[in-house]
Structure 1
Amino acid sequence: MTDTSILFECEYRGQRYAGLGLPAPGEPQTLYRVADGQLRAALVAGGGPKALRAAVAEGTETVQVAAGDPEVRFLPPLLPTASNNALINGFMGTHRTKFDRDPEPDEEFTPPNYYIKGFGSWLRMPDEPLTTPADPVWLLEEPEVALVYVNDDDGVPHYAGYTFGNDLNDIGLHLKNPWAWTPYAKLCETSLTPWLFLDRPPRTVTGRVVIERDGATAWEGGFSCGADSLYHRVEDMTQYLFSYPALRRPGLVNYLLLGADKASYHDGFRIEDGDRMVIDVSSHGVVLANPVRYGQADTARS
């Protein structure tokens, strides 16, 4: 039975489609023809994430595709490909493991550090390479929950659901000068799973990261990134962030990363060019794998 609480979008033979549920190995999947912006419009018109599910099922043109069809290219959830009116951003230092105490029940909210990672078109899908600067100091994979919001014509954010991402960054550069060089450290590509879970932000998310080198496991470790692992309340974080008018521009899609736990860097492991990062979100049945590719050094020409 198709799990209608999960939605995805993709391109197939030059057209945009949507589907419901996670693809089952070896089984065909039904795709529903949609226009760019159709699902976002359904969300902001009212009804929340449920409206997205209904909008997919209303598609008049359907096709059946085989599992693993190479002509299917998955898209980040609700990405506006025509306008690129989308932003990747997120929070830092949000996990309880990075604090020496638990928050008090009535503790005043102190916003965590925040960053802007880039445009939505910079996002990469599973199995696509994540490009870094040419000579990173010390790379760090970061398995995270990513919340997806769409602003309506009045700039009011509408929550669509959540997915999972890898906020690859250069923690070595960040630690050299945390107050000034963090934006540079974040200039590595980010990947998301295409699966949009049509539900409230998850309380519990667990899994394992495996770093593969030359086809063998070079490092592995567990992670947690659900709301119960965070020091801050998700509601406080999002309410504070959307108090800024710049993030409430009409039509903007926000991919909001909630932060990561300790990972390979904290175990003394160095990710190298060509390594493959595999994030198995076992609690939710999805895997996000991407190879690392060092970029080419270059400078602007006058």
Structure 2
Amino acid sequence: MLLSQYLDDAGNARVAARTGGPARAVQSDLPLYHLARQAISNGTTLLAHIDSLGTGDPVDLGGLLDEGRLLPPLTHPDPAHLYLTGTGLTHLGSASTRASMHAKQPEDETDSMRMFRMGVEGGKPANGQAGVQPEWFYKGNGAALVAPGAALESPAFALDGGEEPEIAGIYIIDTDGTPVRLGFALANEFSDHVTERQNYLYLAHSKLRPCAIGPELRVGPLPDSIEGTSRIRRGAEVIFEKPFLSGEANMSHSIRNLEHHHFKYALFRQPGDVHVHMFGTATLSFAEGIAAQDGDVFEIEAAPFGLPLSNPLAQAPAAQAAPMTDVKVL
């Protein structure tokens, strides 16, 4: 089942569901956050709860996207309680992309390559125990989550704004602190790769950018192997197009291991919070020498996730970049 959120004619968030055919409105006035919490409280699955509510009128997702009425598939009533996080160097091939950005002398192995090798050797433990921990980063809260079709804004001080086609796990924390995975969605983990390339320690800065997920949430397990396509359109021209691979068959870490090393922190097990956790990629247009420009459109698609995720790049006006950020003294 694929679930999406949209604004109805009255401006209220509604949920649509589909299982191969056209999307239909779920028979509830509640957004997905509340429907998911109902399912958790009732001790049932999200799929069973949606089935029990039933569906009604067809929903034109493409038309809603054109009208700017599609939302991220899961949001929180208070954006400060939605975490955007991710892991890097988790995919086979991702190390070579990253290492080329942080190369030292030819005889030296970069920190990126060492961390990747750690994941290959210990990221998929077979004994049920925790494996080696991955690279981890913070992107922001719900204020940085962009809807499908909406612009990914690169701040005026940024040196670059580039796509990262990924799969994200979508979670709600239960009342007892247990993370509950609702499903998976496409993600564009938008980043500043030029800033990161200056120094690996700038990775944290490079990730503090908006990102997008959706348009549809896949309920259920993640396919073992996923092949999608990442492209960039510049007007009528496609200036970049390349397949990307994901799923555990193409990863150096298991999903379970990545989830463990995120949710092992009590901070990330606060009841009611929402987590969007991105699992990494090995495909970047930046690695191919592409510099995205204002107005370019990023498109990420993979058949198991329904509609493509499409977002234009918007460069914030230089006037928004003050020489210094003023802080008041109380």
TM (norm. structure 2) is 0.79
Name stretches of at least 5 consecutive residues in structure 1 with no aligned partner: none
Q: CA deviation at 1:182?
A: 1.5
Q: Which residue of 2 aligns with 1:262?
A: 283
Q: Which residue of 2 aligns with 1:16?
A: 13
Q: Specify which of 260, 273, 277 is matched with residue 252 of structure 1.
A: 273
- CA distance in 1 between counterparts of 2:46 and 2:315 reads 38
Q: Per the alignment, do residues 150 and 138 of structure 1 end up closer, same or farther by CA in structure 2, a change over 3 Å counting?
A: same
1:108-123 equivalences in 2 (<5 Å): 109-123=131-145
Q: Deviations over 1:274-294 (max 9, x none)?
A: 111111224544311111011
Q: Specify which of 176, 194, 197 is matched with residue 154 of structure 1.
A: 176
Name stretches of at least 5 consecutive residues in structure 2 with no aligned partner: 96-112
Q: Specify which of 286, 292, 297 is matched with residue 313 of structure 2.
A: 292
- CA distance in 2 between counterparts of 1:83 and 1:123 reads 9
Range moving further from structure 2, 254-263 or 201-210: 201-210
Q: Deviations over 1:229-277 (max 9, x none)?
A: 1111111111121110000011001111000113211111111121111
Q: Which residue of 1 aligns with 2:221?
A: 200
- CA distance in 2 between counterparts of 1:176 and 1:63 reads 52
Amino acid at match of 2:292: I
- CA distance in 2 between counterparts of 1:52 and 1:147 reads 20
The structure with more helix, counted as a fraction of residues: 2
Q: Which residue of 2 aligns with 1:271?
A: 292
Q: Deviations over 1:165-188 (max 9, x none)?
A: 100101111121212x22221122
Q: Per the alignment, do residues 84 and 76 of structure 1 end up closer, same or farther by CA in structure 2, a change over 3 Å counting?
A: farther
Asked whether the 8 Å contact 1:132–1:187 carries over to 2, the reply is no
Q: Per the alignment, do residues 106 and 192 of structure 1 end up closer, same or farther by CA in structure 2, a change over 3 Å counting?
A: closer
- CA distance in 1 between counterparts of 2:73 and 2:296 reads 26
Q: Specify which of 27, 49, 73 is matched with residue 32 of structure 1.
A: 27
- CA distance in 2 between counterparts of 1:113 and 1:128 reads 29
- CA distance in 2 between counterparts of 1:126 and 1:93 reads 26
Q: Which residue of 2 aligns with 1:217?
A: 238
**CA RMSD in angstroms, aligned pairs only:** 2.6
- CA distance in 2 between counterparts of 1:84 and 1:63 reads 33
Q: Per the alignment, do residues 239 and 48 of structure 1 end up closer, same or farther by CA in structure 2, a change over 3 Å counting?
A: farther
Asked whether the 8 Å contact 1:210–1:221 carries over to 2, the reply is yes
Q: How many residues align?
A: 292
- CA distance in 2 between counterparts of 1:52 and 1:182 reads 40
- CA distance in 2 between counterparts of 1:17 and 1:55 reads 16
SS in 2 for 1:193: strand
Q: Specify which of 42, 45, 49 is matched with residue 48 of structure 1.
A: 45
SS in 1 for 2:37: helix
Q: Specify which of 161, 166, 184 is matched with residue 144 of structure 1.
A: 166
Q: Which residue of 2 aligns with 1:97?
A: 93
Q: Which residue of 1 aligns with 2:206?
A: 185
Q: CA deviation at 1:145?
A: 0.6
Q: Per the alignment, do residues 65 and 71 of structure 1 end up closer, same or farther by CA in structure 2, a change over 3 Å counting?
A: farther
Q: Per the alignment, do residues 28 and 237 of structure 1 end up closer, same or farther by CA in structure 2, a change over 3 Å counting?
A: closer
Q: Deviations over 1:137-194 (max 9, x none)?
A: 3333111111011101121111111111100101111121212x22221122101113
Q: Per the alignment, do residues 52 and 92 of structure 1 end up closer, same or farther by CA in structure 2, a change over 3 Å counting?
A: farther
Asked whether the 8 Å contact 1:206–1:283 carries over to 2, the reply is no
- CA distance in 2 between counterparts of 1:79 and 1:226 reads 24
TM (norm. structure 1) is 0.86
Q: CA deviation at 1:84?
A: 4.5
Amino acid at match of 2:307: V
Range moving further from structure 2, 266-275 or 276-285: 276-285
- CA distance in 1 between counterparts of 2:228 and 2:142 reads 26
Asked whether the 8 Å contact 1:166–1:191 carries over to 2, the reply is yes
- CA distance in 2 between counterparts of 1:263 and 1:204 reads 19
Q: Deviations over 1:181-221 (max 9, x none)?
A: 22221122101113111111232211212211122111211
Q: Which residue of 2 aligns with 1:6?
A: 2
Amino acid at match of 1:54: D
Amino acid at match of 1:219: F
Q: CA deviation at 1:83?
A: 5.8
Q: Per the alignment, do residues 195 and 127 of structure 1 end up closer, same or farther by CA in structure 2, a change over 3 Å counting?
A: same
Range moving further from structure 2, 214-223 or 130-139: 130-139
Q: CA deviation at 1:72?
A: 7.3
Q: CA deviation at 1:82?
A: 4.7
Q: Per the alignment, do residues 84 and 32 of structure 1 end up closer, same or farther by CA in structure 2, a change over 3 Å counting?
A: farther
